[in-house]
Each structure stands twice: as structure tokens, then as C-alpha cells.
Amino acid sequence: MKSLISIMGLNVSEIDSLMALADDIIARPESYQDAMRRKKLGSLFFEPSTRTRLSFEAAMLELGGQVLGFSEGMSSSAAKGESVADTIKTVSCYVDIIAMRHPKEGAPLVAANNATVPVINAGDGGHNHPTQTLADLFTIHREKGRLDNLTVGVCGDLKFGRTVHSLLEAMSRYAGLRFVLISPEELKVPSYVKQHLKHNAIPYDQTESLAEALPELDILYMTRVQKERFFNEADYIRLKDSYILTPAKLENAKKDLAIMHPLPRVNEISVQIDKDPRAVYFKQVLNGKLMRMALILMLMEATK
Amino acid sequence: MNIDTIKNGIVIDHIKAGQGMRIYDFLNLGELDCVVALIKNASSSKTGKKDIIKVDRVLDIDLNVLGFIDPNITINIIKDGERVHKYHPELPEKMTNILRCNNPRCITTTEQELPHVFILTDREKDEYRCVYCESRAPALK
Ligand SMILES: [Zn+2]
């Protein structure tokens, strides 16, 4: 019985199989509409995350399965002091597969160690969120037809943004990539991530200028620059506009650039860009659901 | 009492001077009722000064974890008054309930009964990480 706790728990060929399966779901949706008939997903959200929960639940429903669970820890057994292990042993009696979100880092691993059904980490604090990375990888695959030989820009909060760290880590297994790390000085990628890139001999540049980096990019992955990350208001005000993507900045970008964002966005991508065919962040949401469908199928297949 | 005569037990030698008490505390040697000796600042041909610990009992613990405190120590196993084995500790791949994770966001902070498990992630850097949250291990107390 296999679970998914972190993106590095999947090797490249497993990710390829998941993407091939998701491609096939797009091509032949009717073949999958009853694939999870009479199966139940336990949707255990110990902290609220409406987007992720809806994506998992939509994925299971679209496979013909059913969903039960809870969406806030305060109303659940955890609030009464029950351990993750006991909750999971109980829920394992009711469902066939579990998607779990928890505010504490490592909680899904504890769940997987105690479950008798597969567990999918739907986010543990700011630690791992592997299905977001699957959505990101699949989006690049759909837009570019490949995950290698690309120049990938990541922009915004690269210091605390674990979504970006996971994406860089997952992509470091493909050949011919180059990363452009675009952030203010205060929010640069931490040294352990850079060491990981060096260790894998992946070239990267660091810059503070989104406008200068844009023309060479095949992919632009935007993230939010949060005000509370800055030491003082003046720095935030000075910098915030440099990391907002506007139609003017896009003028020099490639015609086939793919603009991604893990969402929710605040103001870092101007809404005027939503109509630009290069904006793929809402496709990314759809791709997230498709990869969650593929993942549920793969994990359930493995338990047969 | 002659502390040189350990019949069945261990001699931990070449401890960096000043570290002996840490190892003494870590192994809870103060709790034992057998002969235990902590020798501080003994002369050493290699480093000038060293600490030595002698315990007249076979300890039921994997002494390799001492490598995390001081990788240069030598462990001598004494049987019937003779040294039967001598080795340098080799960092174990996994340590359970030896280090405690100090990341406040880690699940081990709210689930008291969970074992604290650390995995050796980089042997050259003596780097251990928590199996749950992947935080780096704190120094041994
Ligand atoms: Zn931890």
C-alpha cells in the first residue's frame, strides 16, 4: 500500500505515468467516469483549505466515487485531543483512500504509518504539498509538451515559498533546464535550495528584475510577495510594483511563454493578463484536479 | 579502588577535552551503581589533552550515537580484563528517541507519544533530519 507524502516520493517514471494517465483522462473522460464506483475518499482537512479540498473532492466525484470527511480541525476529534494515529485508524475502517491536510509538519507521514489505506498529503503546514507540484509539472507538460530543455523563471517570495522549492526540486531531475530566480534581496532562495541545484549541475541566475528576466523565459512561475515578509514598510512599497506582472512588462516576453501561479493571487498578476493566451493559471487549477484523479487511480490500483 | 581495572565493560578514549561530562550525562552514567570513572584532561600524544570514561558494565545502548557528540572518540570493549574490541563510532543511519525535534511546527510537538526519529541525510556533514518535518537535528545536550 503506497501513500504520497512528498513530491520526491515519486520517481520520474511514476510522474510520467501519472501525466500519461491524466492525458488519457482528458482524451477519454467517459472511460474513467465509473473508475472509482462504490469507492470512498476520506477528505480529512484538519485545517481549512477550500481550494485543495474542492479539487480532491471534485476529482473523486468525477471518477464516480464518493466523498466523506471534515474540513476544520476544531469540529473534529482532533479538537478533543485524539491523536492523528487513532483518527486515521478509525477513518481507515470507513474509506478506501485518504486525502489529508494538517497544520503540523509530518502529520501525513504519521497518518500513512497508521493507515490501512493509501494517504495523500494535501498539505502539512508550510512543509510539503505534493499535489500542487503535480499540477505544476502537468501544466508545463501540457503547455510545452516536455519538462526538459526549458528556461524557467520563478518570481516573488522565493525564501518562504515552499511551492517554489518543491517545483525546483522536482524539476531538477530533468535535463537541459535553466532557472532564473527573480526576487527582492530579502526574499532570495535559501542556500539549501541553491545547493540542491548546484549538486544537480543545473544552471541558474539570480536577479531582482522581473522586466529584465522576462524575454528569455519559457515559463514564468509567479508567487505572492507578502507585505509581512518585509522588515519595513518603505522596502515593501519600493519593491512591490517590480513584482507585479502587467501587460507592459509582457511586451518583451516570448509569444509562447506560459504564465503560472499556484493561486490564490492578490495583485501580483494584473487581471488584464487573464485574457492573454499565455496566462495558464486557471488551466493549472483544472490540471490539479486531473492529476489528483490520476493519483487516486494509481494509488488505488497499487492496493489491488 | 583502582580505576584501571575494568573487568567487563567499556573504555571510551580520546574524548575531546571538556566533552567527557557531556558523554557522561548523555549516557546517564550518574545513575549506574557500578564503577564509573570520568578522567578529565589526561595527557594525549595526539591532541595534548583528552577526557576518558571507564564503565565497569556492558551498556545496553548503541554507542555509535556517541559519534554525533565527538566523531574522534575510540570505544574499547573490555572482557575479563582484556580489550577484545576497539572501534571508532560510525554514525547510525537512524536514531530513535535519542534526539528531540525542536521545530515548533513539527507534529512531534503536539503528539507526545510519537517516537522522535532522525535519519542521517549527509554523512560528511554529520547531518541528521527529522523524519517528520525534515528539520535539521539539534546538537546533543
Ligand atoms: Zn520534526
Least confident stretch, A69-78, A223-232, B79-88: A69-78
Phi and psi based region of residue A176 (left: phi greater than 0; alpha: psi -120 to 50; beta: remaining): left
State the first-to-last Cα distance of chain B, in angstroms, to the nearest integer: 30
Burial bucket for residue A232 (CB in 10 Å: 0-12, 13-18, 19+):
exposed
**Is 60 exceeded by the pLDDT of residue A301?**
yes
Cβ–Cβ contact A189 with B under 8 A: no
Q: How far is CA A219 from the centre of its chain?
A: 15
* pLDDT value of position B44: 87
Classify strands B48-55 and B36-44 as parallel, antiparallel or unpaired. Answer: antiparallel
* pLDDT value of position A233: 83
Q: Say if residues A278 and A258 touch (Cβ distance below 8 Å).
A: yes
Judge if B14 and B82 occupy the same domain. yes
pLDDT in tens, A125-164: 989 999 999 999 999 999 999 999 999 999 999 998 889 9
Judge if B73 and B17 occupy the same domain. yes
Q: What's the grid cell of residue A260?
A: 503560472
Going by the DSSP 8-state scheme, the letter that residue A58 receives in this structure is: H
* pLDDT value of position B3: 55
Q: With H, G, I as helix, E, B as strand and everything else as coil, classify residue B99.
A: coil
Class of domain A7-128+287-302: alpha beta
Domain residues for the domain of B25 are: 9-87
Judge if B44 and B105 occupy the same domain. no
Residue type, A289: K
| Chain B CB contacts of A110 below 8 Å | 107, 111, 114, 132
Instruction: Compare CB distances from B106 to A83, A85, A104 and report the shortest one's residue.
Output: A104
Judge if B64 and B110 occupy the same domain. no
| B78 within domain boundaries | yes
| B113 within domain boundaries | yes
- Kindly state the helix (H) or strand (E) to which residue B122 belongs, with its residue range: strand B117-122
CA neighbours within 13 Å on the CB side: how many for B105?
A: 12
**Is 80 exceeded by the pLDDT of residue A253?**
yes
Ligand 1 centroid to Cα of residue A272, in Å, is 43
What would the DSSP string read from start to end of B100-117? ----TTBGGGT-TTS--E
A111 — pLDDT class (breaks 50, 70, 90): very high
Judge if B75 and B102 occupy the same domain. no
Could you tell me what percent of chain A has a pLDDT over 70?
Answer: 97
Judge if B22 and B81 occupy the same domain. yes
How many other C-beta atoms are found inside a 10 Å radius of the C-beta of residue A19?
A: 21
CATH number for the domain spanning B59: value is 3.30.70.140
Mean pLDDT of B125-136: 92
**Which residues, other chains included, contact A16 with Cβ-Cβ below 8 Å and sequence gap of 6+?**
none
How much is the CA Rg of chain A, to the nearest whole Å? 20
Judge if B33 and B55 occupy the same domain. yes
Cβ–Cβ contact B119 with A under 8 A: no
Chains A & B: contacts with CB separation below 8 Å: 42
| Chain B CB contacts of A127 below 8 Å | 105, 133-134
Judge if B81 and B111 occupy the same domain. no
Instruction: Compare CB distances from A127 to B109, B113, B133 and report the shortest one's residue.
Output: B133
Ligand 1 centroid to Cα of residue B39, in Å, is 36
Q: What's the grid cell of residue A84?
A: 492523528
* pLDDT value of position B1: 42
* pLDDT value of position B140: 65
Cβ–Cβ contact B124 with A under 8 A: no
Count: domains in chain B: 2
* pLDDT value of position B125: 83
pLDDT in tens, A3-34: 999 999 999 999 999 999 999 999 999 999 99
Mean pLDDT of B76-93: 91
Q: Say if residues A118 and A97 touch (Cβ distance below 8 Å).
A: yes
Q: With H, G, I as helix, E, B as strand and everything else as coil, classify residue A132.
A: helix
Show the DSSP H helices in chain A as ranges. Answer: 12-27, 50-62, 84-91, 107-114, 130-144, 162-171, 191-199, 210-213, 233-240, 247-250, 281-303
| B3 within domain boundaries | no
Domain-wise residue ranges, chain A: 7-128+287-302, 130-284
Judge if B59 and B31 occupy the same domain. yes
| B135 within domain boundaries | no
A107 — pLDDT class (breaks 50, 70, 90): very high
Q: Say if residues A96 and A117 touch (Cβ distance below 8 Å).
A: yes
* pLDDT value of position A75: 62
Cβ–Cβ contact A83 with B under 8 A: yes
Judge if B55 and B37 occupy the same domain. yes
Least confident stretch, A18-22, A78-82, B123-127: A78-82
Cell 490520476: give the residue.
A294
Annotation: CATH topology of A130-284: Rossmann fold (3.40.50)
- The residue of chain B with its CA nearest to that of A108 is B132
Residue with more model confidence, A81 or B56: B56
Taking the alpha carbons of B123, B125, B130, B131 in that order, is the dihedral positive or negative?
negative
| Chain A CB contacts of B134 below 8 Å | 105, 127
Which residues sit with Cβ closer than 5 angstroms to ligand 1, an ion?
Answer: B 101, 103, 106, 130, 132-133, 135
A247 — pLDDT class (breaks 50, 70, 90): very high
Judge if B22 and B45 occupy the same domain. yes
Ligand 1 centroid to Cα of residue A182, in Å, is 30
Ligand 1 centroid to Cα of residue B98, in Å, is 13
**Euclidean distance between CA atoms B109 and A47, whole angstroms:** 17
Contacts by residues A75-82 (CB-CB < 8 Å, ≥ 24 positions apart): A76/A44, A76/A46, A78/A46
Instruction: Compare CB distances from A109 to B109, B113, B131 and report the shortest one's residue.
Output: B131
Verify cis geometry, omega within 30 degrees of 0, for the bond prior to B115.
Answer: no
**Is the CB of A110 less than 8 angstroms away from the CB of B114?**
yes
**Is 60 exceeded by the pLDDT of residue A89?**
yes
pLDDT in tens, B5-37: 788 999 999 999 999 999 999 898 999 999 999
* Same fold across A7-128+287-302 and A130-284: yes
**Is the CB of B110 less than 8 angstroms away from the CB of A110?**
no
Q: What's the grid cell of residue B140?
A: 546533543
pLDDT in tens, A281-300: 999 999 999 999 999 999 99
Rounded mean pLDDT of chain A? Answer: 93
**Euclidean distance between CA atoms A73 and A108, whole angstroms:** 14
Cβ–Cβ contact A129 with B under 8 A: no
Classify strands A151-155 and A178-182 as parallel, antiparallel or unpaired. Answer: parallel
- The residue of chain A with its CA nearest to that of B136 is A192
**Is 90 exceeded by the pLDDT of residue B71?**
no
CA distance, residue A237 to nearest chain B CA (Å): 30
